[in-house]
Chains A and B, each alone.
Chain A
């Protein structure tokens, strides 16, 4: 009986993501049936996340905006090819990541940062204060400096390692979700993440002392 209750509780508790995925499929099917307006729902739902992924992969907000738009246009024009074998967001993230990495490959000789402002209300105050004490700098200055150093450190990583860090640490995806997006295994994702963090640690050691 206990086992049955445990299974029931798991079945009841898991579907938060599944419900989201199912609701995506409802909109996707509407778009596939010719309801163009239904695509707006998917845009509104995912635009921040797609922008965040592209922005953190290339550290340039203008390019990130273009890439986000291109991602949605590509998804829209090829939505009939989407058969629902994977979750819609997995498919969308794949498009965004591929587009970002392709653009970065193309522009590898003229890469420059164009960064968004840090929302200080959302920033972890504890960490910033501790860092301000350690580095003996003003909070404002520290934030600007740290933002540049973080972006530099991320850009030093290889595209694969950067993608794993962005998806896990910034977007909060699970190892398995990342593995699905990157066509690899959860174990590979873990090992890439471990390696990437070691690289970041050595790049950002001034703040970690």
Chain B
């Protein structure tokens, strides 16, 4: 005959039934085998080589990271070059409006280190372009024998909607002629 407690427990719920699931458990021996197997598998995992696709997956990221400094350097160099060339072209274009007397430094040295000077009047330049050669500067020294005229030809500049712009400055020793030379356009 069922006791009073059992009779009182007439309404069995889902939660009561699920409680029985909590009592399903493996035997204690199971854990010995489990630990042994787990240790072996863990060691295998430690020495297992990485699959080939993991390297491929990492390569683009690594490449991107390694390219960052190179890219940055290239960007800086490009920026310096572009800024430098624009400065050079503008300084070259304006380099010769100074009075000729002011230029006393050696000819070659001046060509290598351009000096920022006021811009040449484009009209004067264009007028001089009619001649095959014209004098840009006169370089005079104490000793007249070593005085030169700085000679340019019309190909050293080009005209555009923004005016005359020098594309090159061929002012070297060969472009310098003695002051005594004649037949050159002068401005």
The interface of chain A, by Cβ under 8 A from chain B, is 36, 39, 43, 47-48, 51-52, 55-56, 61, 65, 68-69, 72-73, 76-77, 115-120, 122-124, 126-131, 133-134, 143, 146-147, 150, 154, 165, 169-170, 197, 200-201, 204, 207-208
Please report the C-alpha to C-alpha distance between residue A154 and residue B17 in the assembled complex, in whole angstroms: 12
| Contacts A65-B30, A73-B45; A146 near B20 (Cβ below 8 A) | yes
Residues of B within 8 A of A208 (CB): 12-14, 17
Q: Mark B30-62, 1 if CB is under 8 A from A, else 0.
A: 110011011001100110000000000000000
Taking the closest CB of chain A, its distance from the CB of B89, in whole angstroms, is 55
* Nearest chain B residue, comparing its CB with the CB of A61: B26
Q: Are B6 and A123 in contact (CB under 8 A)?
A: no
Assess whether B113 is interfacial by the CB under 8 Å rule. Answer: no
Please report the C-alpha to C-alpha distance between residue A146 and residue B34 in the assembled complex, in whole angstroms: 28
Assess whether B5 is interfacial by the CB under 8 Å rule. Answer: yes
Chain A interface secondary structure, helix, strand, loop or mixed? helix
The interface of chain B, by Cβ under 8 A from chain A, is 2, 5-6, 9-10, 12-27, 30-31, 34-35, 37-38, 41-42, 45-46
| Contacts A73-B41, A77-B45, A169-B15; A119 near B20 (Cβ below 8 A) | no
Q: Are B23 and A123 in contact (CB under 8 A)?
A: yes
Choose one: B21, B27, B41, B42; the contact of A170 (CB below 8 Å): B21
A-B contact pairs, 23 of them (CB 8 A): A65-B34, A68-B34, A69-B34, A73-B45, A76-B42, A116-B25, A116-B26, A117-B27, A118-B24, A122-B22, A123-B20, A124-B19, A126-B6, A128-B20, A129-B9, A130-B2, A133-B2, A143-B20, A147-B20, A150-B21, A169-B21, A170-B22, A207-B17
Choose one: B2, B13, B31; the contact of A47 (CB below 8 Å): B31
Residues of B within 8 A of A129 (CB): 2, 6, 9
* Nearest chain B residue, comparing its CB with the CB of A200: B14
Residues of B within 8 A of A73 (CB): 38, 41-42, 45
| Contacts A69-B37, A69-B41, A73-B45; A126 near B23 (Cβ below 8 A) | no
New A-B contacts (15) at CB < 8 Å, excluding given A69-B38, A207-B17: A43-B38, A65-B26, A65-B37, A115-B24, A117-B24, A120-B23, A126-B6, A129-B6, A150-B17, A169-B18, A200-B17, A200-B18, A207-B12, A208-B13, A208-B17
Q: Are A122 and B2 in contact (CB under 8 A)?
A: no
Q: Are B16 and A127 in contact (CB under 8 A)?
A: yes
Taking the closest CB of chain A, its distance from the CB of B169, in whole angstroms, is 62
Residues of A within 8 A of B2 (CB): 129-130, 133
Taking the closest CB of chain A, its distance from the CB of B9, in whole angstroms, is 5
Q: Are B12 and A124 in contact (CB under 8 A)?
A: no
* Nearest chain A residue, comparing its CB with the CB of B10: A130
Q: Are A127 and B24 in contact (CB under 8 A)?
A: no
8 closest A-B pairs by CB: A169-B18, A116-B24, A122-B23, A130-B9, A123-B23, A129-B6, A119-B23, A118-B23
* Nearest chain A residue, comparing its CB with the CB of B26: A116
